Amino acid sequence: MSEQPKPSPAGENPKPAESNGVTRRDFLNEIALGALGIAGFGSVVVTYQYLSPNVLFEPPTTFRAGSPDLYPVRSVTFLQDQQVYIVRMPAGFYAVSAVCTHLGCITAWHPERDRIECPCHGSKFKPDGTKIEGPAPRPLPHFSITLTADGDLLVDKLQTVVSAQVLKV
Ligand code: FES
């Protein structure tokens, strides 16, 4: 003899049929909770980005180039990591930018021709940055070069100086 379902008391809905133990209501509730969680996480990320400062960390513009004794008189030394030439002439030191004033390529020192040349479009410069030929509109700029208290060369790439300004050591 089969068992008949019990009639529910008046005013109560009968429990809906379940499949695998999950009702449609439970399923929809979980979807809604998941959507709310994703939206909440997104708003936290956006709020964090809004409140955190927009700071751009750039490398320092001032660097030590070592002792003056490292540079022989009448020498041009390319400091690749700083993209600067340290030039020592009998009159003193100067620091010349290695970045071409045409389109920003990095120039190269050619001691056999006694000049700085740009590999991109052929601009040529004297060791003091004066333009010889090519499409570069200006000479290579000179940066401020001074001595630190303990006697090292100190170059400031943020400060350009006139080419006649040399550091006498
Ligand atoms: S970038 Fe140097 S000549 Fe064009």
Instruction: Give the tens place of pLDDT for each residue, 36-84.
Output: 999 999 999 999 988 988 888 888 899 999 999 999 999 999 999 999 9
| Ligand 1, residues at Cβ distance < 6 Å | 100, 102-103, 105, 118, 120-123, 134-136
Q: Where are the beta strands (DSSP E) in the chain?
A: 62-66, 75-79, 84-89, 92-97, 108-110, 115-117, 124-125, 131-133, 142-147, 153-161
What's the whole-model pTM score? 0.69
Give yes or no for residue 1 having a pLDDT over 50: no
pLDDT of residue 2: 46
Q: Ligand 1: which of 100, 107, 115 to mutate, judged by most atoms within 8 Å of the beta carbon?
A: 100
Please report where in the chains the tokens 């004033």 appear, as a residue: 101
Nearest CA to ligand 1 atom 3: 121
What is the torsion angle, in degrees rounded to the nearest 10, for the CA atoms of residue 128, residue 132, residue 133 and residue 139? Answer: 40
* Dihedral in degrees, nearest 10, Cα atoms 90, 93, 94, 95: 130
Instruction: Specify the ligand 1 atom closest to the Cα of 107.
Output: 2
Q: Say yes or no to pLDDT of 12 above 90.
A: no
Work out the average pLDDT over 96-121.
Answer: 97
Query: Is the pLDDT assigned to residue 138 strictly greater than 50?
Result: yes
Distance of CA 152 from the midpoint of ligand 1 (Å): 32
Nearest atom in ligand 1 to the alpha carbon of residue 121 is 3
**Ligand 1 center–CA 121 separation, angstroms:** 5
Give the single-character DSSP code of 118. -
Confidence of residue 99 (pLDDT cuts 50, 70, 90): very high
C-alpha dist (Å) from residue 1 to 4, 8, 41: 9, 21, 56
Amino acid 82: pLDDT:
95
The helix/strand/coil state of 37 is helix
**pLDDT band at residue 14 under the 50/70/90 scheme:** low
